[in-house]
Structure 1
Amino acid sequence: MANIKELKKKIKGTKSTSKITQAMKLVSAAKLAKAQNNILNSRPYARELEETIKTVSALVQSYDNEFLNEKKDNNKAILLVISSDKGLCGSYNSQLAKKVRRFLDETNQDVKIYFIGKKVRDLLAATYNKGKTYTFNKSEPTFIEMEQVGVELSEMFKSAEVGHVYVAYNVFQSAIAFDPTVKQLLPMTLDVAEKEQLKEKFPFDFKYDPNPTEILDTLIPQTYISTLYTALLDAVAAEHGSRMSAMDSASSNCKKAIKTLSIKMNKLRQAAITTELSEVVSGAESLKG
């Protein structure tokens, strides 16, 4: 059974841990505010750009682009997994790893996994076909750095080295919620049903300046890069939200532990005082006798 000295030491250690978790919570909260603002501002642009591409490509006749071409005979694929370099962020990495495992087990493609972030790589590398791990000057890559990653992956697709390019990441929903997702980046296909719906929605053609081919040739690569960068922003916001939530829970657990240990220490102290009083009374009684 722990004595009072040991309990004091545990309480002191728990208080120190609580200070660290509180500080980490505040740092993550500050980073989350910026990351949340970035993703909420980026999503509408990415969404409208994607809708524009879908609409124009559905209405333009006989248009062809390397990013749209399906390589049905090519069974090779790349999966870019965006996770964190650091832990202490709850189930952020484990849930994403679980989603990636499910995707890899269900697909019949020969998938090589590329990584941004170390944590999911460490969970998957021993089991699945590991490719390149991207590193950057700072913990969060810039748009230019993500554009370079996107161009490298698209070149492998255009050269038919692979037939598909996917990205796996956590979609930010709120400070306490995220959704692990695997999304196809290439080819940027538009199924027949979607094309028919768009043709019904727009039973007329638009006037284009410049011509639609030039517009699509410019916008399609931009849409691809925008989608990839938006996935990164989602992942960053989800990481900071998950870490803030995890540190908040850790701080609460520290407070509960301190309270429990303090009650236990006070009971031991009370018992010690009672024992001493009993001994004093017994000694006094014996002197009287």
Structure 2
Amino acid sequence: MASLKEVKERIQSVSSTQQITKAMKMVAAAKLRRAQDRIVQLRPYSEKLAALLANVSSGNNEEGMNTYSEEREVRRVLIVPVSSDRGLCGAFNSNVVKACRRLIESDELQGKEVEVLPIGKKSYDNFRKKGYPMVNDFYEVFGDLTFDNVREAAEYAMNSYAEGKYDKVYLVYNEFKNVATQIVQTEQFLPIVEIEQDETVNTGIDYIYEPSKDFIVEELIPKSLKIQFYKAVLESNASEHGARMTAMGKATDNAAELLKELKLTYNRTRQAAITKEILEIVGGAEALASAS
């Protein structure tokens, strides 16, 4: 059995850890509210923009919408894993890394040249250690998460695809559902995936185009792609804080359970030590009585 001093030191250590995890949970909760507000506000705009783009570009399938929808033989692939800068958020980062590895090892990408554009220090560190070819110019965007900073990464992927450097681009990120649920998504970013529409339902809207339909489509597509990229980063950011809040909440609860056990062990050890001392005193007294 451990000594009283050892048990007491461990109680103090677990109490300090519990205070830290509780504070981290509160910080994550505050950050989650702001991140959740951002993604909730962006989702309707992103969805409406995508629907408008699909409607405007319908009827031009025989010519293709533009460079970003061009299908070609896949030889080089760019994967964009969106992780966090810090850990202590459960399986948040490892799920993204595992999804990327599954994608790389899939039959679709067998024999293809794969390059990684990490968003977040955790994905950067992981793929750097594994020796994957990387574009390491944009992994620190979470230090100042703004649309302008994320747009630079999106423009790099878009321009590289348009120039023929990559034949496909994938986004791998955690989609935010709620505090306890984050779903890993693997989406094809480029070329643009054609949206299937129900032929039995007439969803067409008669627009008046100014200056022209082609000009509107050419303006909408790059903007829609950048918004889609930014949305994925915001989804991941909100998911990170939700995962960290959940992980720190569980850690705080576990610390509380451990403290109960340690305090019980401390009381039992203390009681055993007192009993031992009483027995020694009684034994000494009986020995003196027998001697006299």
> Would you say same fold, with TM above 0.5?
yes
Residue 37 of structure 2 corresponds to residue 37 of structure 1? yes
- Partner residue in 2 for 1:177: 181
Q: How many percent identity over aligned positions?
A: 33
What displacement does 1:11 show?
Answer: 0.6
Unaligned 5+ segments in structure 2 are none
Q: Which residue identity is paired with 2:117?
A: Y
More displaced 10-residue stretch of structure 1: 3-12 or 210-219: 210-219
Gap change, CA 1:168 and 1:137, over 3 Å in 2: closer
What displacement does 1:137 show?
Answer: 6.9
Q: Which residue identity is paired with 2:255?
A: C
Work out which of the residue numbers 118, 121, 144 in structure 2 matches 1:118. 121
- Partner residue in 2 for 1:3: 3
- Partner residue in 1 for 2:210: 209
What displacement does 1:189 show?
Answer: 3.0
Gap change, CA 1:204 and 1:21, over 3 Å in 2: closer
Q: For 1:57-68, list aligned pairs within 5 A.
A: 57-60=57-60, 62=63, 64-68=65-69
Measured in 2, the distance between the counterparts of 1:163 and 1:219 equals 21
Q: Which residue identity is paired with 1:187?
A: P
CA contact (8 A) 2:82 2:118 kept: yes
Unaligned 5+ segments in structure 1 are none
TM-score normalised per structure 2: 0.91
CA contact (8 A) 1:172 1:178 kept: yes
Measured in 2, the distance between the counterparts of 1:37 and 1:100 equals 28
CA contact (8 A) 2:55 2:205 kept: no
Measured in 2, the distance between the counterparts of 1:198 and 1:66 equals 26
TM-score normalised per structure 1: 0.91
What displacement does 1:241 show?
Answer: 0.6
SS at 1:167 equivalent:
strand
What displacement does 1:203 show?
Answer: 6.1
Gap change, CA 1:113 and 1:199, over 3 Å in 2: farther
Residue 285 of structure 2 corresponds to residue 281 of structure 1? no
Measured in 2, the distance between the counterparts of 1:272 and 1:280 equals 12
Gap change, CA 1:2 and 1:94, over 3 Å in 2: same
Measured in 2, the distance between the counterparts of 1:149 and 1:257 equals 45
CA contact (8 A) 2:119 2:140 kept: no
Measured in 1, the distance between the counterparts of 2:122 and 2:241 equals 15
Q: Which residue identity is paired with 2:125?
A: D
What displacement does 1:244 show?
Answer: 0.8
SS at 2:186 equivalent:
strand
Aligned CA-pair RMSD: 2.0
Alignment length (residue pairs):
285
What displacement does 1:265 show?
Answer: 1.0
Gap change, CA 1:140 and 1:239, over 3 Å in 2: farther
SS at 1:115 equivalent:
coil
